[in-house]
Amino acid sequence: MSSYTPPLRDMQFVLHELLKVTDEFKGMPKHADLDVDTINAVIEEGGKFAAAELFPINASGDKEGCTLDLATHSVKTPTGWKEAYAKYVEGGWPSLSGAPELGGQGLPIVVNQCFYEMLNSANQAWTMYPGLAHGAHAAIEAHGTEAQKTMYLPKITSGEWLGTMCLTESHCGTDLGLLRTKAEPQADGSHLITGSKIFISGGDNDFASNIVHLVLARLPDAPAGSKGISLFLVPKFLVNADGSLGARNPIFVTGIEHKMGINGSATCQISIDGARGWMVGQANKGLAAMFVMMNAARIGVGMQGLGLTEVAYQNALAYAKDRIQSRSLTGPKDLSKPADSIMVHPDVRKMLLTAKAYAEGGRALALYCSLLIDKEHHHPDTEVRAESAELVALLTPIVKAFLTDNGHIATNACMQVFGGHGFIKEWGMEQYVRDNRINMIYEGTNTVQSLDLLGRKILGNNGESLKKFGKKIALLVSEVNDDEAISDDMQEFIAPLTELGTKMTAFTTELGFKAFSNANEVGAASVDYLRVAGHLVFGYFFASMAQISLKAIAEGRGDKFYQGKLQTARFYFAKLFPETLTCMATARSGAAALMDTDAVFA
């Protein structure tokens, strides 16, 4: 009963009016000739694929789930999913941002991320299979040998082969230093890998002819802890010298997890019984190599939260417009009907606007980060590349945690709009709530992301990266104040943003001093701190989008889109941005109320 329409107009607004991507591409020789029409055409066709091929099999895939044949250790995905993947490959979608020398189309990451937002809205569980291949590709490209790149990357680029990352073991999740999987060196330079892994997304499927597992394991002489972890490429089928598939490698699925959501995504238990693998990168430096894939996955998970926020909002809005129930508090609005649409109720509008604001703010941030990745990889200026990489590192935990936390808030709010119908499967809303819930957990829980942001990305370099983002805010404020036509109207956005920017410096310094005497202060404050940082970043983008909209309105452009964008920005600053005050207060309250509680748990 649900539906999905790709948000092409807002994507085009973010790409071309907010980020001005084609101007940015002119500074990157690889993308210098890419124009607005080409970008829009690609995104439009991508939206058609998502809406026509993936959305119709989302609910059925959730109901059917995956099945495992224990005799063959093979996974069967839900009905229609294999066929959809074949169309995905036939359409050239896996290679969209792949390097031309590997058979890719060479389009920017930012264009590919627009496509992936729509895939996630249409069917997050299906999208996880090809999404993981991008991360595997990035890790091999960054750390693999030339022979590994030649053998594996073209097949991953085309979509013929898929990938996984095999990290987690039953006794250790985030603390990978505890892992026990072993790697025994062989005379031919390969290794025999033995161990077991759990929670492996896409551990097997019936989409691709081969799966490239990237497995963390220990060499016999490896030091203890995270300093003794190496990364290995372990294919499902061994690959012959001519690129053809050889013998089955003994890396087998032994079980599929029965989950709360993303049921069409095969989350596998894997047994590795002397499987042959090849080291990627240096010995005992596996985490550094794997982090290429993990960071890509973290941004990808943020896109999952964004995708579900968007599709939940669309369906809640459509329902609210049609559902009549009771009358407006200020008197009947539609006397032709026995009741008014629930759109007349302030709290229904608050729930809808919350989802809309979190979708639009998340889209701006996610695409900005994607553009930074393009600049990091392809800009000829080394300083631009370095600064882009630094900002991506700063913003990645915010993309992962803030967008998925917001997705949790938004999908629950949208389900609430439906009232009792939202709790019923036929309407589709409860699936969005269930599917999004994992996004706050995997690829490093959102608490881990918060610790990474405050402990490593902020305090780790004395706030230098944050100051660089602060310069962007200062530049926006200066532009607004110099523009007499809109400066007065912009104050409702600029004033609270400037105030938070000023407070952020003292807030961060205060937490840093507390951390010197007690590291638990970072743990106690980090989740609240990330919420504040997320709103600071969203505030910058909403103020920028309001600036663009006010100018468009002042120029007489009659597109109602700009009025809607302006009203969303007003709602965001009035109703969501003030969360920063509470979060700063709770962060400052310290660790004692959490840690001096032994009597509570006695």
Active-site residue list: 443
Separation CA 264–CA 266 (nearest Å): 6
Tell me which residue of 357, 385, 356, 382 sits closest to 371, measured CA to CA. 385
Tell me which residue of 203, 61, 185, 192 sits closest to 132, measured CA to CA. 203
Alpha helices in 418-559 (DSSP H): 429-437, 446-451, 464-482, 491-517, 520-554
Tell me which residue of 582, 294, 595 sits closest to 448, measured CA to CA. 294
> What b/e readout covers 69-80, taking b as 16+ CB neighbours within 10 angstroms?
eeeebebbbbeb
Q: Which amino acid is at 201?
A: S
318, containing H or E segment: helix 286-322
Per the CB < 8 A criterion, the answer to whether 216 and 176 are in contact is yes
Q: What share of the chain is helix, strand, coil (3-state, %, to 5)?
A: 60, 10, 25
| Cα-Cα-Cα-Cα dihedral sign, residues 306, 307, 312, 314 | positive
CA angle 557/563/565 to nearest 5° reads: 115
| Cα-Cα-Cα-Cα dihedral sign, residues 230, 231, 232, 235 | positive
Tell me which residue of 82, 64, 375 sits closest to 205, measured CA to CA. 82
Q: How many residues would you count in the chain?
A: 602
Q: Which amino acid is at 519?
A: A
Separation CA 242–CA 230 (nearest Å): 27
CA angle 547/551/555 to nearest 5° reads: 170
Packing angle, helices 346-378 and 560-571, rounded to 10: 100
Which backbone phi and psi does 333 adopt, to 5 degrees?
-105, -25
Separation CA 328–CA 404 (nearest Å): 33
Query: What is the SS3 assignment for 200?
Result: strand
